[in-house]
Structure 1
Amino acid sequence: MGRFTGKPAALKDSISPPVNLSPCPAPRTVTQDAGGLGAMKPCAMKTLVALLSLFLLELQVPLRAGRANTGSQKESDWARQFPQCGGKKQSPINIRSNKVKFNPNLKPLVLNGYETHQGPFIVTNMNHKLHILLPQTMRVNISNGQEYAAWQMHFYWGNYSSEISGSEHTVDGKRHVGEVQVIHYNTNYNNFQEAQNTPDGLLMLAALFEVKEYSENTYYSDFINHLKYIKYPGQSTILNSIDVRDMLPPDVRHYYTYQGSLTTPPCTENVLWFLLKDPIIISRAQIVKLENSLLDSQNQTLHNAYRMTQPLNGRTVETNFIPLGDPSKALSPPPHLRVLSPVCSAMKTLVALLSLFLLELQVPLQAGRANTGSQKENDWAKEFPQCGGKKQSPINIRSNKVKFNPKLKHLVLNGYETHKGPFIVTNMNRKCA
C-alpha cells in the first residue's frame, strides 16, 4: 500500500459520475410494466449490480480511520495521527537473502478459487493506488491450516520511464518496477471489518514485477486496457472476468514470510506477509502504460506511491526454500576457443561454399513455402488444410494446469556437444535456419 500523493477522494466520490462500465454498450431503454422493470438486458443487469456494489461499498467499507484526513501529509508525519505507523513491526521491509531463515515446516500456499471468475469486478482509481474488489470465495490456506478469504487487490509502481522503480518491498536492496498485493482476512472472523483490528486478522500475498522488453503478459492485457476509463480519482470501471491466479507468477510454491503491517495508515501491525520468490514478468510497454494511465487529486500522473522500507527491528524473515549462494562464487566460463590457423580457415571457407552448392541441389524449400509470399496466417488453411486442424502448435502452456506424469523420464541428448563446423545458416524468407 502506497504513499498518499494528494488528498484522497472520499469514498462517496468513487461512485460519482463518470463511472465507466466498459465494455458494455451504451445504456438501452428499459421498458416498464405493471410489475415494475421489464426485461433487462444482461449487460444492463451487470451495470445495475456494479452500481449497487459501489453503493454498498460506501456503506460497508469506509476508508480506514483517518485516511480521508491525511491530505498531503508526509509519510514521516503519519505516526503523529496514527501511532502504529511508528511501531516496531512495520511494512514494507528490505529482505536480505543472506539473513533469511529456512523453515522446513513451511508448506506451499494452497490457493483455492483463484482461477477465472465471472464479474463484474470493480476496478477503482483510489487517488494514491489502484485496487480491485475480489470475490471472497477466493481463499488461501497456510501451513498451520488457517484459511484466509480474499478482499482486495492493490497495485503499486514507480516511474519506469525515469528509471525509478516502484515496488514496496525490496530484495537485497533492489527495488523492482512494481508490486501487486492481495489482501485477505482470517475466516475465523465474519468479515473484513471484524478481522482488520484483530491481532491475527490479515494476510497479504504479494509479488514483484520484473520487466522483460518484449515479454507481453497477456493475462494483464485486458486489465491494463481498462485503465483508460479510470483516469481520474474516484472513477471505477468493470472487468467482466478475472483470473488472479494467472496474474501471479507461474510458480507460487516458494516465498518469504514475516509479521508486519499495513503500509498505509492506520498501519496496524496484524498482517502476515507472504512475498513470492518469483516475479511477475511483464513487458516494458505494459509497465509504461500502467504507470501513465492514472492521475491523482492534484491532476498529476500517479507515480511513486510506495512507502519506503521500514526497519526490521529484530524480526525474522523465514522462507520455505534455500536461497542461492553468492553469485560471485559461480563457476567461471570455459576457456576461450583456439584461434584457427589461416590455412585451416581457408579450408573451412571452401568446404562451406561447397556445402551451400550441394544444398541448392539437394535441399529445396519445403513444398509450398516459397509460394506463401505475403499470405496471411489465417489464410494458410485454404492451401494447407491441416493448418486448421485441432492439434496445432504453438500453444500457451499454463504451468498451473499441466499434469505431472511420473513415468516420463528425462530426455537423453546424444551428440549435442560441441561440433566442428562448418554450419550453414540460411535466411529461409520467413525464418532463419
Structure 2
Amino acid sequence: MDPAWLAAAVFLLLWQCAGCTRAGKEWTYAGAVGQSEWSEFFPECGGFSQSPIDVDTSRTLHDPSLAPVQPLGYGQYGHEPFTLSNNGHTVEMPLPSWMGVAGLPWQYSAVQLHLHWGNGIGVATGSEHTIDGQGASAELHVVHYNSELFANMSQAKTQGNGLAVLGVLIEAGSETNHAYAQIFNYLGRIRYAGQRVAIPAFDVQTLLPRDLSRYFRYNGSLTTPPCYQSVLWTVFAEKVKISHYQLLKLETVLYSSRSTAPTEPIPMQDNYRATQPLNHRPVLSSFIPVSVKIYTDGEISAIVIGSLCGCIGLAVIVWFVVKTIRSTSSWDVLPSVRPPPQSRTKDVAKNLKQDMALKTTSDLGKKEEAAPQPEP
C-alpha cells in the first residue's frame, strides 16, 4: 500500500476515535467538562438557538392565536407504577407513550419528565428559565417528541420541530405540594446515580400550573448536552409552589456519584444551565404581559429609608409652620382696643363723690327757697 494512503487512513481512524471519545465524554455542570466547555465537546451547545433564555416580557410578541395547552392522557395513568431514577444529572421519570399534549402545531407524545434545582443558598436560584431576570427555586420539564412526523424520540431529537418541552417554574412557599410529594417522598431511595425505584402512578397534570393558557413560546434547544436545537419551548407564566422543606429535600438528598465510587459522594446540586443569548429569536406570548418592576433587597431598603426620611422631614416642616403661625397670630400682636380695667374702689369713691355733690346742690336750693323775702 502506498505510504501516503496508509498515513491518511491512520489519521482518519485516529480522528474518528477522537471524535467518539469527545462525543462520549461525561459532562458536568461545573468542573471538568462543565458548562463553559460543553461547546468544545458538543458543538451544538455553541449554536445560536440555545436554551434556556431570559424571557423579557417587554419584548415578547403577543400572539392571540396561541391556544391553551391541553395535556392528553396525563390523568389516565392506570395501575402500572412509574419508575423514578437518578441518572447522575437529575431525577427522571419516564412517561407512558399514550400521554401527550395538544394545542401545539403538531401532535406530541410524552417521553419523560425531570427537574432542575439549586443548592439551598438562594430560594430564587435553581430554575433554568428566568422571567424579566428573575429566576425561581426549581424547574420542571416535561419532554415530548413529535409523533406526527417521527417514529420515536431518537429520530425526533435531532430534527427541527422534533421535540416539545413544557417548562414549569417552581418557587418555595409555606404549604406542602401533595402532587410533588408523590416524587419527593421517594428521593431517599435513589440517592446515588444509577438507582431507580417504582412509585405509585399519579395524575401528572397535577404537577402543572392551573392556568395553562398563559405561557411564552420560542424555538430553542435541549438544556443539556448534546444541546440539540430541536425544541419548541412552552414556559408557563404561572409558577407552582412547593414547601421550603420539599425544596430542601430536593437540594440535599441526591448524589451525582454512584454508591460504589471510592471518593466522597458528590451532592447533586446546581444542575441548571445558565441562560443563553436570545440572538434575535422571537418569543411569543399567549397573553399581554404586564411588566412589574421587581426590586432588589438594596432597592427596597433604599425606598423604605427614603420614605421614613421624607415623613420625618414633612413632620418637621408642618411643626415649624404651625409654630410660626401661632407666634404671629392676630390675637397676639394687635393692640387691645378695650380700656384697661379700673379698680372697683375707685369706682365706688367716684360714685360717692358724685352723690355728695348732687346732695349739696339740692340742699342749697331748698335753703334759698325757705329764706324770707324782704318787704318792699
Q: Which letter maps to 1:209?
A: I
Which runs of 5 or more residues in structure 2 are unaligned? 1-21, 258-263, 295-376
Secondary structure at the aligned position of 2:250 is classed as: helix
Secondary structure at the aligned position of 2:234 is classed as: strand
Secondary structure at the aligned position of 2:176 is classed as: coil
CA distance in structure 2 between the partners assigned to 1:243 and 1:116 by the alignment: 7
Q: Which letter maps to 1:322?
A: I
- 1:164 positional shift: 6.2
Q: CA 1:262/1:208 → structure 2, altered by over 3 Å: closer, same or farther?
A: same
Which runs of 5 or more residues in structure 1 are unaligned? 1-64, 329-433
Give the superposed CA RMSD. Answer: 1.7
CA distance in structure 1 between the partners assigned to 2:25 and 2:97 by the alignment: 26
Q: CA 1:252/1:67 → structure 2, altered by over 3 Å: closer, same or farther?
A: farther
Secondary structure at the aligned position of 1:221 is classed as: helix
- 1:236 positional shift: 0.3
Higher share of residues assigned helix: 2
Contact 2:123–2:172 at 8 Å: present in 1 too?
Answer: no
Q: Which letter maps to 2:265?
A: N
User: Partner residue of 1:194?
Assistant: 155
Among 139, 164, 168, the alignment partner of 1:203 is 164
Q: Which letter maps to 1:95?
A: V
- 1:326 positional shift: 4.0
User: Partner residue of 2:99?
Assistant: 138
Deviates more, 1:314-323 or 1:289-298: 289-298
Q: CA 1:81/1:219 → structure 2, altered by over 3 Å: closer, same or farther?
A: same
Query: How many residue pairs get matched?
Result: 262
CA distance in structure 1 between the partners assigned to 2:291 and 2:37 by the alignment: 39
The yes-or-no answer on 1:86 pairing with 2:46 is: yes
The yes-or-no answer on 1:289 pairing with 2:255 is: no
Identity among equivalent pairs (%): 37
User: Partner residue of 2:179?
Assistant: 219
Among 15, 23, 34, the alignment partner of 1:66 is 23
Q: CA 1:266/1:282 → structure 2, altered by over 3 Å: closer, same or farther?
A: same
Deviates more, 1:319-328 or 1:292-301: 319-328
- 1:161 positional shift: 4.6
Contact 1:66–1:265 at 8 Å: present in 2 too?
Answer: no
CA distance in structure 2 between the partners assigned to 1:288 and 1:86 by the alignment: 33
CA distance in structure 2 between the partners assigned to 1:239 and 1:99 by the alignment: 42
Q: TM-score, normalised by structure 2?
A: 0.67
User: Partner residue of 1:181?
Assistant: 141
- Note the alpha carbon deviations across 1:134-170, whole angstroms, 9 max, x for none: 01111111343x1100001010110235556100001
The yes-or-no answer on 1:121 pairing with 2:82 is: yes
Contact 2:124–2:171 at 8 Å: present in 1 too?
Answer: no
User: Partner residue of 1:398?
Assistant: none
| Aligned pairs for 1:20-419 within 5 A | 66=23, 68-70=25-27, 72-117=32-77, 118-144=79-105, 146-161=106-121, 163=123, 165-187=125-147, 188-213=149-174, 215-297=175-257, 299-326=265-292
- Note the alpha carbon deviations across 1:74-108, whole angstroms, 9 max, x for none: 21111112111111000000111111110011111
CA distance in structure 2 between the partners assigned to 1:126 and 1:68 by the alignment: 15
CA distance in structure 1 between the partners assigned to 2:99 and 2:44 by the alignment: 29
Q: Which letter maps to 2:266?
A: Q
Q: TM-score, normalised by structure 1?
A: 0.58
Q: Which letter maps to 2:129?
A: H
Secondary structure at the aligned position of 1:242 is classed as: coil
- 1:302 positional shift: 1.0
CA distance in structure 2 between the partners assigned to 1:68 and 1:141 by the alignment: 36
